[in-house]
Structure formats: C-alpha cells, structure tokens
Amino acid sequence: MKLKNPWPKYYKKDVVTHYCPGCGHGIVHRIVAEVLEELDLGKRAICVNPAGCAVLAYLYFDFDVIESAHGRGTAIATGVKRSRPDLFVFTYQGDGDLSAIGTAETIHSANRGENICVIFINNAVYGMTGGQLAPTTLLEMKTTTTPLGRDPKYDGYPLHITDVVAQFPGVVYAERVAVDGPAGIRKTKKAITTAFQTQVDGLGYSIIEVLSPCPTNWKLSPVDSFKWVTDVMMKEFPTGVLTDKRKKV
C-alpha cells in the first residue's frame, strides 16, 4: 500500500512521540496537519494547546502554537482571532479542559460565535494526571477517583457539552466523530475539514468532538480500546452532525 501523503508538511520530522501506544492524539494530530496542508492554512495557523496530554502537541505541530492554562483555550483563541482576524485559529482541547474547568470559556466563546474552530478530544478520562473522573466519564466506569465506578447519584452523569453548544445560534457547525478505525478516521478528517473551511469562509464557530481511545487509563490493550470506543463509548455519545447552520449564516 502506498500512502498518499507519507509525511504531512506541517508535521515535524524526526520526533519520537510521547503519547502512549494506541492513543488517539497521534491520529488526530496527523489529521490536523493534513487538513492544514490541504486547505493551505499552515502558514497562517495558530493552535491553542490545552493543559493535559496534548500540551506537548507543539513537539509535533510544525505551525505556530500557544499553550493555555487549563481550560482557557477558547478565551486565548478569542484574543488571538480578535486581534488578528486574518489568522486561522483553532483550539485543541481535552474533555477535562473543555468541559470541566473551561466550561465557562467554552460556552461563552460558542455563544459569541467566535470565528474559531474547536477540536475536542473526548476520551472519558483525565489522561495526563493519571486517569481521574472526567465530566465525560461513562456511568459505572472505573477511574482513580471513582474506584467503584461512576455512580450518578454521587458523581453525576456524563456531560454532553457538544450537544449543549450545538443549540446556540452562534455555533455554525458541530459534529461528533470517533477515531475507532479506518472509516471513523476518514469521517474525522472530513469533519475537521468542514470545520476549518467554516472558519475560512468566515461563518463562525465550529466544534468537532472526537471520541478517542486512552488505553493506558482505560487499562485495555490498544486493540480493545478501539473496540471499546465503538461498542461502549458511542452508545453514550452517538456520532453524527449535531448542527449545521452553514447555509443559514
């Protein structure tokens, strides 16, 4: 088999990944780099990194990156985009970052309809800190801070933040996808392309939620992790387009 694009232009060479075997971040990173190349955005792109595993994304991304305090990605992106509307601005955030500590920033940047893109990696757990409860943790799922499994009476329910913001008039495009296999990866790339194009067209806010495996903290093998995304996670978080207001804007 021959790869169409063996090494994306905006992906650094000669770096060894710090991500765990079977982690979804590497896949999404590559997709981002490919789409930036295909839409010719790499030269004017600025990515806002989260606190979390992807804080080190700048080790791989070969375009301009600014790191954010935990949860503040979309506020920083707002500052970047408002001061330089000619730049292409997106955040790359995890579930803890975006839907726990950064909920206010997420909600309000979406409600303002900022012309930015949000890539939201949902792996149902806090990765970097070692597998604690996330807002997106599934019911009965064991984490280091829900050792008996997530009990809705005690820990609340999985938070569907993308569904929440999709209802806002300012959110032009929202889709949930999963990097659970070749088909899912292709859909993810299509979704990210749509989101990036939405900003290029000046239409407003878009968010792509990516269900992504975390074998280490799920305590599963990489292969079983991908299966778990399809079989378990997607039951709680069904994939699909959550809103598409591009024609209305």
Q: Which residues bind another protein (CB under 8 A)?
A: 10, 42-46, 48-49, 51, 55-56, 58, 61-69, 72, 75-84, 87-88, 104-105, 107-108, 112
Which candidate, 237, 169, 248, places its Cα nearest to that of 208?
Answer: 237
Measured distance CA(106)–CA(73) in Å, rounded = 8
Q: Render the burial of 59-97: b for 16+ CB within 10 Å, e for the rest.
A: ebbbbbbbbbebbbbbbbbbebbeeeeebbbbbbbbbbb
CB of 77 to another protein, least distance (A): 6
CB of 3 to another protein, least distance (A): 23
CB of 86 to another protein, least distance (A): 8
Measured distance CA(97)–CA(188) in Å, rounded = 21
CB of 200 to another protein, least distance (A): 13
Between 84 and 219, name the residue whose CB sits nearer to another protein: 84
Between 109 and 217, name the residue whose CB sits nearer to another protein: 109
CA angle 5, 193, 105 (to 5 degrees): 125
Measured distance CA(25)–CA(32) in Å, rounded = 10
CB of 14 to another protein, least distance (A): 14
Between 101 and 249, name the residue whose CB sits nearer to another protein: 101
Are the beta carbons of 166 and 111 closer than 8 angstroms? Answer: no
The torsion defined by the Cα of 113, 198, 122 and 3, in degrees rounded to 10, comes to -160
CB of 247 to another protein, least distance (A): 28
CB of 185 to another protein, least distance (A): 24
Between 74 and 143, name the residue whose CB sits nearer to another protein: 74
Between 84 and 186, name the residue whose CB sits nearer to another protein: 84
Sign (positive or negative) of CA dihedral 102, 105, 109, 111? positive
CA angle 74, 38, 207 (to 5 degrees): 25
Q: What one-character DSSP code corresponds to residue 1? A: -
Between 11 and 173, name the residue whose CB sits nearer to another protein: 11
Between 69 and 241, name the residue whose CB sits nearer to another protein: 69
